[in-house]
Amino acid sequence: RDASWGFIGLGRMGYPMAKNLRLKVPKEDTLLVFDVNAASSEALVKELGADRVKVAKDVREVAEESDTIITMLPEPHHVKGVFGELFAMPIMPSPGAPQKLFIDCSTIDPTTSTQVGEMVRNSYMKAEFVDAPVSGGVVGAEAGTLTFMLGAPDSIVPRVESVLQHMGKRTLHCGKPGTGIVGKLANNYILAMENIAVAEAFNFGTKMGLDAQVLKDLVGCSTGKCWSNDINNPVDNAKKDFVGGFGISLMRKDLGLAVAAAEKAKAKLLIGRPALEAYEAVEKVEECKGRDFSVVYRYLGGEEKK
Ligand code: NAD
Protein backbone atom coordinates (compact mmCIF):
# COMPACT_ATOMS: atom_id res chain seq x y z
CA ARG A 1 0.00 0.00 0.00
CA ASP A 2 1.45 3.39 -1.04
CA ALA A 3 1.51 6.08 1.61
CA SER A 4 -1.05 8.90 1.50
CA TRP A 5 -0.01 12.34 2.70
CA GLY A 6 -2.14 15.37 3.53
CA PHE A 7 -1.05 18.99 3.96
CA ILE A 8 -3.23 21.82 5.29
CA GLY A 9 -1.95 25.42 5.14
CA LEU A 10 0.32 26.26 2.21
CA GLY A 11 1.62 29.66 3.29
CA ARG A 12 5.16 31.00 3.41
CA MET A 13 6.26 27.97 5.46
CA GLY A 14 3.75 25.30 4.48
CA TYR A 15 4.20 25.66 0.72
CA PRO A 16 7.94 24.86 0.62
CA MET A 17 7.49 22.18 3.29
CA ALA A 18 4.78 20.42 1.28
CA LYS A 19 6.91 20.75 -1.83
CA ASN A 20 9.96 19.15 -0.16
CA LEU A 21 7.81 16.37 1.28
CA ARG A 22 6.35 15.56 -2.13
CA LEU A 23 9.76 15.60 -3.81
CA LYS A 24 11.27 13.25 -1.22
CA VAL A 25 8.58 10.60 -0.81
CA PRO A 26 8.12 7.86 -3.44
CA LYS A 27 6.44 8.93 -6.66
CA GLU A 28 3.65 6.39 -6.17
CA ASP A 29 2.54 8.03 -2.89
CA THR A 30 -0.29 10.58 -2.95
CA LEU A 31 -0.31 14.14 -1.62
CA LEU A 32 -3.61 15.86 -0.98
CA VAL A 33 -3.49 19.55 -0.04
CA PHE A 34 -5.88 22.23 1.14
CA ASP A 35 -5.58 25.95 1.78
CA VAL A 36 -8.44 28.45 2.14
CA ASN A 37 -6.50 30.49 -0.36
CA ALA A 38 -7.03 28.32 -3.45
CA ALA A 39 -4.22 30.10 -5.33
CA SER A 40 -1.57 28.46 -3.07
CA SER A 41 -2.81 24.92 -3.79
CA GLU A 42 -3.08 25.67 -7.51
CA ALA A 43 0.47 27.05 -7.55
CA LEU A 44 1.80 23.81 -6.02
CA VAL A 45 -0.07 21.70 -8.57
CA LYS A 46 1.31 23.88 -11.34
CA GLU A 47 4.84 23.59 -9.98
CA LEU A 48 4.91 19.85 -9.29
CA GLY A 49 2.30 18.49 -11.68
CA ALA A 50 -1.26 17.20 -11.28
CA ASP A 51 0.02 13.61 -11.09
CA ARG A 52 1.95 14.47 -7.93
CA VAL A 53 -0.38 16.82 -6.03
CA LYS A 54 -4.16 16.80 -5.71
CA VAL A 55 -6.28 19.58 -4.24
CA ALA A 56 -8.93 18.55 -1.71
CA LYS A 57 -12.34 20.24 -1.58
CA ASP A 58 -12.02 20.78 2.19
CA VAL A 59 -10.02 19.77 5.26
CA ARG A 60 -12.28 16.76 5.90
CA GLU A 61 -11.33 15.25 2.57
CA VAL A 62 -7.64 15.65 3.47
CA ALA A 63 -8.19 13.87 6.81
CA GLU A 64 -10.36 11.13 5.34
CA GLU A 65 -8.03 10.27 2.48
CA SER A 66 -4.60 10.61 4.15
CA ASP A 67 -2.67 8.50 6.68
CA THR A 68 -0.38 11.35 7.73
CA ILE A 69 -1.68 14.91 7.85
CA ILE A 70 0.52 17.96 8.44
CA THR A 71 -0.94 21.32 9.44
CA MET A 72 0.96 24.62 9.14
CA LEU A 73 -1.47 27.36 10.15
CA PRO A 74 -0.94 30.90 11.45
CA GLU A 75 -2.61 31.15 14.88
CA PRO A 76 -4.39 29.08 17.56
CA HIS A 77 -7.86 29.97 16.26
CA HIS A 78 -6.99 28.62 12.78
CA VAL A 79 -5.89 25.28 14.29
CA LYS A 80 -9.05 25.16 16.44
CA GLY A 81 -11.14 25.99 13.37
CA VAL A 82 -9.60 23.27 11.19
CA PHE A 83 -9.89 20.54 13.82
CA GLY A 84 -13.37 21.74 14.77
CA GLU A 85 -14.36 21.22 11.13
CA LEU A 86 -12.78 17.75 11.16
CA PHE A 87 -14.74 16.73 14.22
CA ALA A 88 -18.07 18.19 13.20
CA MET A 89 -18.87 14.67 11.92
CA PRO A 90 -17.05 11.44 12.75
CA ILE A 91 -14.28 10.29 10.44
CA MET A 92 -14.07 6.51 10.51
CA PRO A 93 -10.67 4.84 10.09
CA SER A 94 -10.45 2.88 6.81
CA PRO A 95 -10.00 -0.86 7.31
CA GLY A 96 -6.36 -1.95 6.96
CA ALA A 97 -5.03 1.64 7.00
CA PRO A 98 -2.33 2.63 9.50
CA GLN A 99 -3.30 4.75 12.50
CA LYS A 100 -3.86 8.30 11.27
CA LEU A 101 -1.18 10.73 12.38
CA PHE A 102 -1.70 14.50 12.64
CA ILE A 103 1.47 16.58 12.91
CA ASP A 104 0.81 20.21 13.77
CA CYS A 105 3.80 22.41 12.91
CA SER A 106 2.05 25.74 13.65
CA THR A 107 3.33 27.93 16.48
CA ILE A 108 0.32 28.13 18.79
CA ASP A 109 -0.27 27.99 22.57
CA PRO A 110 0.24 24.81 24.62
CA THR A 111 -3.39 24.79 25.88
CA THR A 112 -4.93 24.76 22.40
CA SER A 113 -2.43 22.18 21.21
CA THR A 114 -3.09 19.79 24.12
CA GLN A 115 -6.86 20.24 23.86
CA VAL A 116 -6.86 19.49 20.13
CA GLY A 117 -4.54 16.51 20.76
CA GLU A 118 -6.93 15.04 23.32
CA MET A 119 -9.86 15.57 20.98
CA VAL A 120 -8.03 13.69 18.22
CA ARG A 121 -6.91 10.82 20.47
CA ASN A 122 -10.41 10.35 21.91
CA SER A 123 -12.16 10.48 18.55
CA TYR A 124 -13.65 7.67 16.47
CA MET A 125 -10.57 7.90 14.30
CA LYS A 126 -8.34 6.61 17.10
CA ALA A 127 -5.70 8.87 15.61
CA GLU A 128 -2.55 10.42 17.08
CA PHE A 129 -1.77 14.14 17.24
CA VAL A 130 1.67 15.60 17.91
CA ASP A 131 3.01 19.13 18.10
CA ALA A 132 6.12 19.84 16.02
CA PRO A 133 6.68 23.60 15.68
CA VAL A 134 9.73 24.65 13.72
CA SER A 135 12.78 26.84 13.85
CA GLY A 136 14.64 27.95 10.73
CA GLY A 137 12.17 30.29 9.02
CA VAL A 138 11.24 30.45 5.36
CA VAL A 139 14.87 29.94 4.30
CA GLY A 140 15.03 26.68 6.30
CA ALA A 141 11.64 25.58 4.99
CA GLU A 142 12.79 26.11 1.39
CA ALA A 143 16.14 24.40 1.93
CA GLY A 144 14.58 21.52 3.88
CA THR A 145 16.80 22.25 6.86
CA LEU A 146 14.22 23.07 9.54
CA THR A 147 14.59 22.01 13.17
CA PHE A 148 11.42 20.49 14.64
CA MET A 149 10.59 20.59 18.35
CA LEU A 150 8.48 17.57 18.94
CA GLY A 151 5.94 16.89 21.68
CA ALA A 152 4.85 13.26 21.29
CA PRO A 153 4.47 9.95 23.10
CA ASP A 154 7.71 7.90 22.88
CA SER A 155 6.02 5.12 20.94
CA ILE A 156 5.29 7.34 17.93
CA VAL A 157 8.57 9.28 17.76
CA PRO A 158 10.26 7.05 15.11
CA ARG A 159 7.26 7.39 12.77
CA VAL A 160 7.11 11.17 13.21
CA GLU A 161 10.86 11.54 12.71
CA SER A 162 10.71 9.55 9.50
CA VAL A 163 8.14 12.07 8.19
CA LEU A 164 9.86 15.25 9.40
CA GLN A 165 13.24 14.30 7.91
CA HIS A 166 11.72 15.05 4.50
CA MET A 167 11.32 18.71 5.51
CA GLY A 168 14.11 19.34 8.01
CA LYS A 169 17.46 18.18 9.25
CA ARG A 170 16.79 17.82 12.95
CA THR A 171 14.00 16.70 15.26
CA LEU A 172 14.34 17.32 18.99
CA HIS A 173 11.97 15.18 21.01
CA CYS A 174 11.03 17.47 23.93
CA GLY A 175 8.72 15.10 25.81
CA LYS A 176 4.99 14.41 25.98
CA PRO A 177 2.44 16.16 23.70
CA GLY A 178 2.49 19.94 24.20
CA THR A 179 6.18 20.15 25.14
CA GLY A 180 7.30 20.91 21.58
CA ILE A 181 5.25 24.11 21.69
CA VAL A 182 6.59 24.98 25.14
CA GLY A 183 10.14 24.56 23.83
CA LYS A 184 9.45 26.74 20.81
CA LEU A 185 7.86 29.51 22.91
CA ALA A 186 10.72 29.39 25.46
CA ASN A 187 13.29 29.74 22.66
CA ASN A 188 11.46 32.64 21.02
CA TYR A 189 11.05 34.33 24.42
CA ILE A 190 14.83 34.41 24.74
CA LEU A 191 15.18 35.64 21.16
CA ALA A 192 12.64 38.45 21.77
CA MET A 193 14.61 39.65 24.79
CA GLU A 194 18.09 39.44 23.30
CA ASN A 195 16.89 41.31 20.21
CA ILE A 196 15.74 44.26 22.34
CA ALA A 197 18.90 44.15 24.46
CA VAL A 198 21.16 44.16 21.38
CA ALA A 199 19.20 47.04 19.79
CA GLU A 200 19.48 49.08 22.99
CA ALA A 201 23.17 48.32 23.49
CA PHE A 202 24.06 49.24 19.89
CA ASN A 203 22.00 52.42 20.20
CA PHE A 204 23.67 53.67 23.36
CA GLY A 205 27.09 52.23 22.41
CA THR A 206 27.27 54.06 19.09
CA LYS A 207 25.73 57.24 20.55
CA MET A 208 28.60 57.24 23.04
CA GLY A 209 31.16 57.08 20.24
CA LEU A 210 31.82 53.34 19.85
CA ASP A 211 32.07 52.04 16.28
CA ALA A 212 29.27 49.53 15.48
CA GLN A 213 31.61 46.97 13.87
CA VAL A 214 33.97 47.14 16.86
CA LEU A 215 31.03 46.53 19.18
CA LYS A 216 29.77 43.63 17.06
CA ASP A 217 33.22 41.96 17.05
CA LEU A 218 33.63 42.56 20.78
CA VAL A 219 30.22 41.08 21.67
CA GLY A 220 30.83 38.19 19.25
CA CYS A 221 33.74 36.96 21.36
CA SER A 222 32.44 37.99 24.78
CA THR A 223 29.66 36.93 27.16
CA GLY A 224 26.99 38.94 25.29
CA LYS A 225 27.45 36.67 22.26
CA CYS A 226 24.10 35.81 20.70
CA TRP A 227 22.27 35.32 17.40
CA SER A 228 20.90 38.88 17.45
CA ASN A 229 24.47 40.23 17.50
CA ASP A 230 26.31 37.75 15.27
CA ILE A 231 23.74 36.79 12.63
CA ASN A 232 20.85 39.22 12.75
CA ASN A 233 22.65 42.37 13.78
CA PRO A 234 20.42 45.48 13.73
CA VAL A 235 23.13 47.79 12.35
CA ASP A 236 23.71 45.40 9.42
CA ASN A 237 19.96 45.00 8.91
CA ALA A 238 19.46 48.79 8.91
CA LYS A 239 21.58 48.91 5.73
CA LYS A 240 18.96 46.64 4.08
CA ASP A 241 16.06 48.71 5.44
CA PHE A 242 15.16 45.69 7.66
CA VAL A 243 13.56 43.96 4.68
CA GLY A 244 12.90 40.19 4.88
CA GLY A 245 13.89 38.08 7.89
CA PHE A 246 11.58 37.26 10.78
CA GLY A 247 8.68 39.72 10.69
CA ILE A 248 7.99 41.87 13.74
CA SER A 249 4.32 40.77 13.79
CA LEU A 250 5.39 37.09 14.09
CA MET A 251 7.69 37.94 16.99
CA ARG A 252 4.93 39.93 18.67
CA LYS A 253 2.60 36.95 18.19
CA ASP A 254 5.09 34.38 19.57
CA LEU A 255 6.01 36.56 22.54
CA GLY A 256 2.30 37.14 23.26
CA LEU A 257 1.73 33.37 23.28
CA ALA A 258 4.74 32.82 25.57
CA VAL A 259 3.70 35.54 28.03
CA ALA A 260 0.09 34.27 28.17
CA ALA A 261 1.24 30.65 28.64
CA ALA A 262 3.70 31.62 31.38
CA GLU A 263 1.06 33.67 33.19
CA LYS A 264 -1.37 30.75 32.95
CA ALA A 265 1.28 28.48 34.47
CA LYS A 266 1.79 31.13 37.22
CA ALA A 267 5.45 31.45 36.23
CA LYS A 268 6.66 34.90 37.24
CA LEU A 269 8.01 37.09 34.44
CA LEU A 270 9.98 40.26 35.02
CA ILE A 271 10.41 41.61 31.52
CA GLY A 272 7.92 39.61 29.43
CA ARG A 273 5.01 42.10 29.54
CA PRO A 274 7.07 45.28 29.04
CA ALA A 275 8.86 43.58 26.12
CA LEU A 276 5.53 42.59 24.58
CA GLU A 277 4.27 46.17 24.93
CA ALA A 278 7.49 47.36 23.29
CA TYR A 279 6.96 45.11 20.24
CA GLU A 280 3.33 46.25 20.01
CA ALA A 281 4.47 49.88 20.02
CA VAL A 282 7.21 49.28 17.41
CA GLU A 283 4.81 47.45 15.10
CA LYS A 284 2.45 50.46 15.06
CA VAL A 285 5.10 52.78 13.61
CA GLU A 286 4.79 53.07 9.83
CA GLU A 287 8.56 52.81 9.16
CA CYS A 288 8.79 49.63 11.26
CA LYS A 289 5.65 47.76 10.20
CA GLY A 290 6.19 44.54 8.22
CA ARG A 291 9.96 44.60 8.72
CA ASP A 292 12.42 42.24 10.41
CA PHE A 293 11.97 42.31 14.18
CA SER A 294 15.44 43.85 14.66
CA VAL A 295 13.73 47.07 13.48
CA VAL A 296 13.42 47.80 17.22
CA TYR A 297 16.79 49.53 16.63
CA ARG A 298 15.12 51.98 14.23
CA TYR A 299 12.33 52.63 16.75
CA LEU A 300 14.99 53.57 19.32
CA GLY A 301 16.48 56.09 16.88
CA GLY A 302 19.61 54.02 16.25
CA GLU A 303 19.95 55.21 12.65
CA GLU A 304 19.78 58.90 13.52
CA LYS A 305 22.95 60.92 12.99
CA LYS A 306 25.27 60.82 15.98
P1 NAD B 1 1.25 32.23 6.42
O2 NAD B 1 0.23 33.22 6.89
O3 NAD B 1 2.18 32.60 5.32
O4 NAD B 1 0.50 30.89 5.96
C5 NAD B 1 -0.59 30.31 6.61
C6 NAD B 1 -1.45 29.64 5.56
O7 NAD B 1 -2.57 29.01 6.23
C8 NAD B 1 -2.05 30.61 4.55
O9 NAD B 1 -1.76 30.16 3.23
C10 NAD B 1 -3.55 30.59 4.85
O11 NAD B 1 -4.35 30.79 3.70
C12 NAD B 1 -3.70 29.19 5.41
N13 NAD B 1 -4.92 28.99 6.20
C14 NAD B 1 -5.47 29.81 7.13
N15 NAD B 1 -6.60 29.27 7.63
C16 NAD B 1 -6.77 28.07 7.00
C17 NAD B 1 -7.75 27.04 7.08
N18 NAD B 1 -8.79 27.15 7.90
N19 NAD B 1 -7.62 25.97 6.28
C20 NAD B 1 -6.57 25.87 5.42
N21 NAD B 1 -5.61 26.82 5.30
C22 NAD B 1 -5.70 27.90 6.08
O23 NAD B 1 2.05 31.81 7.73
P24 NAD B 1 3.51 31.13 7.79
O25 NAD B 1 4.55 32.18 7.78
O26 NAD B 1 3.54 30.00 6.83
O27 NAD B 1 3.47 30.55 9.29
C28 NAD B 1 2.75 29.39 9.65
C29 NAD B 1 3.10 29.04 11.09
O30 NAD B 1 4.52 28.81 11.18
C31 NAD B 1 2.79 30.17 12.08
O32 NAD B 1 2.26 29.61 13.27
C33 NAD B 1 4.15 30.81 12.32
O34 NAD B 1 4.25 31.42 13.60
C35 NAD B 1 5.06 29.62 12.21
N36 NAD B 1 6.44 29.96 11.86
C37 NAD B 1 6.68 30.88 10.88
C38 NAD B 1 7.99 31.21 10.55
C39 NAD B 1 8.29 32.21 9.46
O40 NAD B 1 9.43 32.67 9.37
N41 NAD B 1 7.33 32.57 8.62
C42 NAD B 1 9.06 30.60 11.23
C43 NAD B 1 8.79 29.63 12.19
C44 NAD B 1 7.46 29.33 12.51
Query: From the alpha carbon of 250, which atom of ligand 1 is closest?
Result: 34
CA distances 23 to 108, 170, 228, 233, Å, are 28, 18, 33, 35
What is the Cα–Cα distance from 73 to 10, expressed in whole angstroms? 8
Pair 165, 151 in one domain: yes
Q: How far is the CA of 255 from the centre of ligand 1 (A)?
A: 17
Write down the number of H helices and E strands in the chain. Answer: 14, 9
Cβ 271 vs Cβ 222: under 8 Å: no
Contact (Cβ atoms closer than 8 angstroms) between residue 18 and residue 47 = no
Q: Is the pTM here over 0.90, yes or no?
A: yes
- Helix, strand, or coil here: 33? strand
Residues in contact with ligand 1 (CB, 6 Å cut-off): 8-14, 34-37, 40, 59, 72-74, 78, 81-82, 106-107, 134, 137-138, 246, 250
Domain of 71, CATH number, reads: 3.40.50.720
Kindly state whether residue 305 falls inside one of the protein's structural domains.
no
Ligand 1 atom with least separation from CA of 138: 40
Residues of the domain holding 235:
182-299
The predicted pLDDT at position 127 comes to: 92
In a domain, 214, yes or no: yes
Residue 84 near residue 116 (C-beta atoms within 8 A): no
**Overall size of the chain counted in residues:** 306
CATH assignment of the domain containing 280? 1.10.1040.10
Average of per-residue pLDDT across 185-197: 98
Residue type, 178: G
**What pLDDT, on the 0 to 100 scale, is given for residue 305?**
62
Regarding whether 109 and 213 lie in a shared domain, the answer is no
Give, for ligand 1, the residue of 8, 10, 12, 255 to mutate: max count of ligand atoms closer than 8 Å to Cβ. 12
**Residue 141 shares a structural domain with residue 262:** no
Determine the average pLDDT of the residues in 266-284: 98
- What is the interface pTM, i.e. ipTM, of the complex? 0.99
- Is 67 in the same domain as 96? yes
* Same domain as 186, residue 152: no
In a domain? residue 304: no
**306 in a structural domain:** no
